[in-house]
Structure 1
Amino acid sequence: MRDLEQLFAALAKSAFRGKFRLQAKEMQYLRAKGLPTIRQHALDFVGKRLAPAVIPNGGKQTPYRGHPVFVAQHATACCCRGCLRKWHGIGQGRALSDEEQHYIVEVLLHWLRREMHRVSDA
């Protein structure tokens, strides 16, 4: 797991990760629900889609659109176990610990907060 400052500096250098932005509908949903509710959604998605040791559709379990958390997962390389290994140093082939799951959620929320500020500053 990485320091958030270092992680976001590295993510900023990735053209692929940098292209992800919330669309108007996703931003509206985020603002309407609020970060506490979105945090619960993130915990649920991570617990069901990333945390198990074996994921039936591994590498394809995270949609690209439809929920702010999904977009954040791709923007922060928290979308599949392969990206978690490469970008965050979280190993594959085992269930994620509670600490790892909470780290991932904090990464996602950090990106979502930044995205909210980016849009409000524009």
Structure 2
Amino acid sequence: MEHNSNKVRELSLFPEDDTESEERQEVDKIDLQPLFDRLAKSKFRSSFYLNAKDKAYIKEKGWDKIEQGTRETIAKRLAPAFIPNDGKQTPMRHGIFPPFIAQHATGCCCRGCLEKWHGIPKGRPLTVKEQIYITRVIMEWLKRNDQ
């Protein structure tokens, strides 16, 4: 599918049924610890946490639903080349959707932060591989902090 600023190929909700598996395997090999070590040194990024309401939401919905919602959020709110409200599209409040908190904690909240923290440039649509990577980072942060 061709990319333009209004149309982005979203991640499949059923990756085992399409061509994403090779990209997913490649992303799964990335060691995220160096990223989490850098994030821990940021006073702002390390100030985020999951509260009881967030943890209850995760427990109620389950990890599969949380990942599905995260994938959809990334595809709609971060994947386009140009986002009219970039830098303001991800809520910071607890109790809405825990991956929003994780997006801020991991520098995956807007295209500016993706460029700064992950080297993913602004001004072009995210690739499917990048969407898979961002989803993995967010899910890893959630699992590390849901204790």
Q: TM-score, normalised by structure 2?
A: 0.77
Once the two structures are superposed, residues 20-59 of structure 1 have per-residue CA deviations (whole angstroms, 9 ceiling, x without a partner) of: 0112111100111111110000001000000001101011
2:42 corresponds to which of 10, 14, 32: 14
SS in 2 for 1:90: coil
Show structure 1 runs of 4+ deviating over 4 A: none
Partners of 1:43 and 1:23 in 2: CA distance: 22
Partner of 1:59: 87
Residue identity opposite 2:104 in structure 1: H
Residue identity matched to 1:61 = Q
The residue that corresponds to 1:83 in the other structure is: 113
Gaps of 5+ in 2: 1-26
- Give, in whole Å, the separation in 1 of the partners of 2:118 and 2:103: 12
CA distance in 2, matches of 1:63, 1:6: 26
Q: 2:131 maps to what in 1?
A: 101
Alpha-carbon distance in structure 2 between the residues aligned to 1:17 and 1:31: 24
Distance 2:43 2:31 in 1: 21
Letter in 2 for 1:39: E
Structure with higher Rg: it is 2
Residue matched to 2:103:
73
How far 1:3 moved relative to its partner? 3.8
- Distance in 1 between the 2:146 and 2:105 partners? 14
> 2-side partners of 1:62 and 1:19: how far apart?
16
Distance 1:3 1:92, change over 3 A: farther
Determine the structure 2 residue equivalent to 1:120: none
Q: Which moved more, 1:2-11 or 1:92-101?
A: 2-11
Identical residues among aligned pairs (%): 55
Count, aligned residues: 117
Other-structure match for 2:66? 38
What aligned pairs does 1:106-117 form with structure 2 within 5 A after superposition? 106-117=136-147
TM-score, with length taken from structure 1: 0.92
